[in-house]
Amino acid sequence: MKIAVIGSTHAGTAAVKNMADLYPEAEVTVYERNDNVSFLSCGLALYVGGVVEDPQGLFYSSPEQLKSLGVTMKMQHDVENIDTINKTITAKNLVTGKTFEDSYDKLVMTTGSWPVTPPIEGIDLENILLAKNYNQANTIIERSKDARHVTVVGAGYIGVELVEAFEKAGKKVTLIDGADRILNKYLDQEFTTLVEEDFQSRGITLAMNETVQRFYGADGRVQKVITNESEIETDLVIMCVGFRPSTDLLKGKVDMLDNGAIKVDEYMRTSHPDILAAGDCCAVKYNPTGGHAYIPLATNAVRMGTLAARNLMEPVQKHVGTQGTSGLHIYDLNMASTGLTETSAKLLDVHVKSFTIEDFHRPGFMPTSEKVMLKVTINPETREILGAQVISKADVTQSINTMSVCIQTGMTIDELAYTDFFFQPHFNQPWNFLNKAGLEAQRQEPVRSPQFV
Ligand SMILES: Cc1cc2nc3c(=O)[nH]c(=O)nc-3n(C[C@H](O)[C@H](O)[C@H](O)COP(=O)(O)OP(=O)(O)OC[C@H]3O[C@@H](n4cnc5c(N)ncnc54)[C@H](O)[C@@H]3O)c2cc1C
């Protein structure tokens, strides 16, 4: 059995490690265009900000480690074509320039995603950079050394983390987004306002509701960002406006969403019987709606990569789907979200009802006690939980992992009100704030006995 894997960051590395274990007789070959595997992009802003000093800590595997498992590692090899009928791939050795063909019995597509670069005039100027892989992280560090004013375009979690890193490094920072607020895909407005106020109090300029029209430069280097509202003088621009699945190789050959994300079933099988796919190149089952969604996260990638390996020969283990659970630490604030926010529900045309509570994370008699804001979103007809968001200076983000399980298992807000959580004054209150969200929902929208409905 010949297994080809294209791409080896999170999904690919997870798939390969499991395959080496599960199918020791198989001939596994990895094609990876980079010279490294398993780079943790999640540490990129920490690396740029100097919190992570040794970049080797950002890798949890290596080509040598995968080789030692019996895998053939074709590093710095770019796959240029896949012939799904004859089951061959064409790859180019990027060092020698030589192109060759190889056959496979099973193909695992883990080609991930690439940052979106909108066709804006001047985008090719030097010092307009992307933030995804290890080489790009090093370029950002190198180019930001002499930069006084850094502009970040895109106020998702990557843009926001970079803003903090640059501000802490003493740069003047501007954050641009076409939306009216930061982090609008992850948190509702009452949460993002707290982060925006924090940013502004530190002198960070927020250019919300602004879209970049043009980059202006001289001697090939960017000098100004021109938006529909303003002109911003700058020495360095980081583009963080989202990701596009890297799936051109299979275009027209397997089913995809409109954005090019490969559709896989719960066993990671594509519409082609011998091709499985995992990670950022795929759409994933989104439990709050039951449909496919594009949620490029390392968490989804490692799970899907593992499942692609387990289900390679026969379907044995189903994917339970995702809630798109994510967390963020910005300055002193810890925040996390899972499932639908009110904003995302509106965009998806899903009718929801939300309940917000404000509490303290532990009793007032403790030396410190931090405010917590929690918002839970439900389906008002079934009362099932569809989403939750939390923010606090205390790290209560694990509560959102609990809420993720609640969504995955179809728990109602009423069951949440009386779920058993421990109490210990160091950590929390006798009524856990998750219980309190359930109680608040029952206060606002009392449960009716079925015979009176
Ligand atoms: C700055 C940043 C911060 C992030 N923080 C978090 C976080 O905190 N938590 C979280 O869960 N997620 C985070 N993510 C998202 C996470 O990094 C991605 O979801 C994850 O990298 C996806 O892994 P993947 O293996 O599916 O794809 P990718 O990481 O995109 O890897 C795909 C691999 O395929 C290779 N490849 C592609 N095409 C070819 C080809 N034709 N031939 C050969 N090789 C090919 C690429 O070189 C690459 O190595 C972050 C992302 C970024 C950029």
Note whether 235 and 248 are same-domain residues.
Answer: no
Res. 114 pLDDT band, cuts 50 70 90: very high
Q: Which range is least confidently modeled, 49-53, 250-254, 333-337, 363-367?
A: 49-53
Residue type, 25: E
Res. 449 pLDDT band, cuts 50 70 90: confident
- pTM of the shown model: 0.95
Q: For residue 24, is it within any domain?
A: yes
Chain segment 224-244, per-residue pLDDT in tens: 999 999 999 999 999 999 999
Number of domains into which the chain is organized: 3
Note whether 187 and 149 are same-domain residues.
Answer: yes
CATH of the domain at 349: 3.30.390.30
Note whether 331 and 447 are same-domain residues.
Answer: yes
State the closest ligand 1 atom to the C-alpha of 297, by its place in the atom list counted from 1.
19
* Side-by-side strand order, sheet with 172-177: 128-130, 236-239, 149-153, 172-177, 205-208
Report the phi/psi class of residue 154: left, alpha or beta, with left for phi > 0 and alpha for psi in -120 to 50.
left
Vertex 368: Cα angle to 362 and 371 (nearest 5): 60
Alpha carbon distances (Å) from 256 to 80, 235, 260, 265: 19, 39, 5, 12
Phi/psi at 322 (5° precision): -135, 160
Q: For residue 198, is it within any domain?
A: yes
Ligand 1 centroid distance, CA of 418 (Å): 40
What domain range includes position 205? 128-239
Residue 200, pLDDT above cutoff 60:
yes
Ligand 1 centroid distance, CA of 209 (Å): 29
Q: Which of 182, 208, 239 is the last residue of a domain?
A: 239
Note whether 208 and 255 are same-domain residues.
Answer: no
Alpha carbon distances (Å) from 407 to 170, 201, 446: 41, 36, 21
pLDDT of residue 353: 98
Note whether 105 and 157 are same-domain residues.
Answer: no
**Which of 5, 8, 10, 82 for mutating ligand 1's site (highest number of atoms within 8 Å of CB)?**
10
Chain segment 58-68, per-residue pLDDT in tens: 999 999 999 99
* Side-by-side strand order, sheet with 212-218: 212-218, 221-227, 231-233
Q: For residue 318, is it within any domain?
A: no
- Reduced to 3 states, what is the DSSP secondary structure of residue 105? coil
**Is 120:215 a contact under the CB 8 Å cutoff?**
yes
Chain segment 399-444, per-residue pLDDT in tens: 999 999 999 999 999 999 999 999 999 999 999 999 999 999 999 9
**Which of 94, 102, 297, 300 for mutating ligand 1's site (highest number of atoms within 8 Å of CB)?**
297
**Which of 5, 8, 9 for mutating ligand 1's site (highest number of atoms within 8 Å of CB)?**
9
Vertex 235: Cα angle to 230 and 236 (nearest 5): 95
Smallest CA-to-CA distance from 254 within 268, 266, 270, 274 is with 270
Residue 17, pLDDT above cutoff 70:
yes
Q: For residue 375, is it within any domain?
A: yes
Ligand 1 centroid distance, CA of 9 (Å): 6
**Is 374:413 a contact under the CB 8 Å cutoff?**
no
Note whether 141 and 103 are same-domain residues.
Answer: no
Ligand 1 centroid distance, CA of 14 (Å): 12
Note whether 262 and 331 are same-domain residues.
Answer: no
Which contiguous run of DSSP H or E holds residue 440?
helix 433-444
In residues, how long is the chain? 453
Strands 72-75 and 27-32 turn out to be parallel
The binding-site residues of ligand 1, defined as CB within 6 angstroms of any ligand atom, are: 6-12, 31-34, 41-42, 44, 78-79, 110-113, 131-132, 158, 246, 249, 279-280, 296-299, 301
Note whether 213 and 200 are same-domain residues.
Answer: yes
Ligand 1 centroid distance, CA of 142 (Å): 22
What angle do helix axes 398-408 and 433-444 make, rounded to 10 degrees? 50
pLDDT of residue 28: 98
Q: For residue 123, is it within any domain?
A: no
Strands 2-6 and 106-109 turn out to be parallel
Note whether 270 and 364 are same-domain residues.
Answer: no
Q: For residue 164, is it within any domain?
A: yes
pLDDT of residue 448: 78
Strands 2-6 and 27-32 turn out to be parallel
State the closest ligand 1 atom to the C-alpha of 10, by its place in the atom list counted from 1.
25
CATH of the domain at 163: 3.50.50.60
Residue with the two structure tokens 């989403």: 387
Which contiguous run of DSSP H or E holds residue 355?
strand 353-360
**Active site annotation includes 10:** yes
**Is 54:13 a contact under the CB 8 Å cutoff?**
no
CB atoms inside a 10 Å sphere around CB 236? 23
Smallest CA-to-CA distance from 31 within 11, 1, 64, 6 is with 6
Tokens of 360: 């303290």
Phi/psi at 233 (5° precision): -75, 135
Note whether 8 and 107 are same-domain residues.
Answer: yes
Ligand 1 centroid distance, CA of 170 (Å): 29
State the closest ligand 1 atom to the C-alpha of 327, by its place in the atom list counted from 1.
8
**Is 31:12 a contact under the CB 8 Å cutoff?**
no
Chain segment 263-284, per-residue pLDDT in tens: 999 999 999 999 999 999 999 9
